[in-house]
Structure 1
Amino acid sequence: MEHQKPSIKPIAYNYGLYSALLSIAGLVILYVLNLENNWILSVVSTIITIVIYYYGISTYKKLNTNVLSIKDGLKTGMGIALIGGLISAIYAAIHYRFIQPEFLEGKREEALDTMMAQNPNMEGEALEMSMKILDITTSEFFIATMMIIGSLVFGFIISLIISAIIKN
């Protein structure tokens, strides 16, 4: 009788939710402490995220009679990354739209000041196009999209490393 592989979905949902909650907690902590960025929080969050991926992939391995291929580890990790990234991105879009809209507006103004300082003679179509690009890159949608992409890239790299280390 052939062994059936366990489903990745419940593992991805569980550990993806943990990853998203960590990301949301980090965003809320930065907001509550009125900080734009904190390297200590970033390092701790990254370490905890790696631990979440490790436990998710290890859980899959345990459920699969202690057998793990790099492919299965990657699928599990990418599932965690996708679920965590989607939930985090949705929260970030809501956060920056309703809770802290001044953050993106401040980033937009900073970018505009930098752009005008680098090229004070910009006008006409070039200025109009630059403003459109600036509006796009400082939107909630763009931030959410970048969070999903970042989560998938980070998830791929970390899952590949973890899978290579704990595979059979």
Structure 2
Amino acid sequence: MEEAKPPVKPIAYNFGLYLGLLTIAGLVILYALNIESHWIASVISTVATIAIYYVGISAYKKLNSNILSIGDGLKTGMGIALIGGLISGIYSIIHYGFLMPEFLAGKREEAIADMMSQNPNMQGEELEMGMKMIDITTTEFFIATMMLLGSLFFGFIVSLIIAAILKNDR
């Protein structure tokens, strides 16, 4: 008789919350230091993110009598990525919409300048289409969507690797 597997939800909620809080902390620290990005912050954030996935998937393995299939590890990691990505996305809407709206305005101006320098003769419908694309990609909701998708993509890769390392089918 096969034992019932433990639920993934509690682990996904707990470690997804940690992942979301890590992202929020990173944005707040960069905002407080008045810098756009820094390689040290990126390295620390990446290592901490991988550690969160590792500890979360390990916690599931321990709850499951020290048994972990790649599918269960991937499911646990994707749950963590989804919750963390949603929290990060929601905060990014607040961060870039209210705390730092000048960031997106600056990115919009940079994109317009880049577009015009690459094709200075752009006019009419082509210019209008380019401006629409810039308007879409420099919104809080686009940034939030990209954060969620990035979290899911990174979570998939990291979870797959961690699950393969921790795999134990007994």
Shorter-chain TM band: over 0.9
User: In structure 1, how many angstroms separate the alpha carbons of the residues matched to 2:11 and 2:47?
Assistant: 19
Secondary structure of 1:121 counterpart: coil
Q: What percentage of aligned pairs have identical amino acids?
A: 73
Task: Give distance in 2, aligned partners of 1:85 and 1:155.
Answer: 9
* Moved >3 Å (runs of 4+): none
Runs of 5+ consecutive residues of structure 2 not aligned to the other structure: none
Deviation at 1:14, TM superposition (A): 0.1
CA-atom RMSD in angstroms = 0.6
Match of 1:114 in 2: 114
User: Which residue is equivalent to 1:61?
Assistant: 61
Could you say which residue in structure 2 is the equivalent of 1:143?
Answer: 143
Aligned partners of 1:2, 1:97: CA distance in 2, in Å? 50
Match of 1:103, SS state, is helix
Q: One-letter code of the match for 1:137?
A: T
- Deviation string 1:89-128 (CA, Å, 9 cap, x unpaired) is 0000111001000000000100110111111111111111
Answering whether residue 168 of structure 2 is matched by residue 164 of structure 1, we say: no
State how far apart, in whole Å, the 1-side matches of 2:105 and 2:24 are.
20
TM-score by length of 2: 0.98
Asked if 1:129 is matched to 2:129, the reply is yes
Residues matched between the structures, number: 168
- TM-superposed deviation, 1:2: 3.0
Residue 33 of structure 2 corresponds to residue 33 of structure 1: yes
Q: Which residue of 1 aligns with 2:83?
A: 83
The whole-number CA distance in structure 1 between the counterparts of 2:40 and 2:136 is 30
CA distance in 2, matches of 1:2, 1:118: 63
Q: Distance between the aligned counterparts of 1:58 and 1:72, measured in 2?
A: 11
Distance in 2 (CA, whole Å) between partners of 1:163 and 1:2 is: 21
Q: Which amino acid aligns with 2:93?
A: A
TM-score of the superposed pair, with normalisation by structure 1: 0.99
The one-letter code sitting in structure 2 at the alignment partner of 1:147 is M
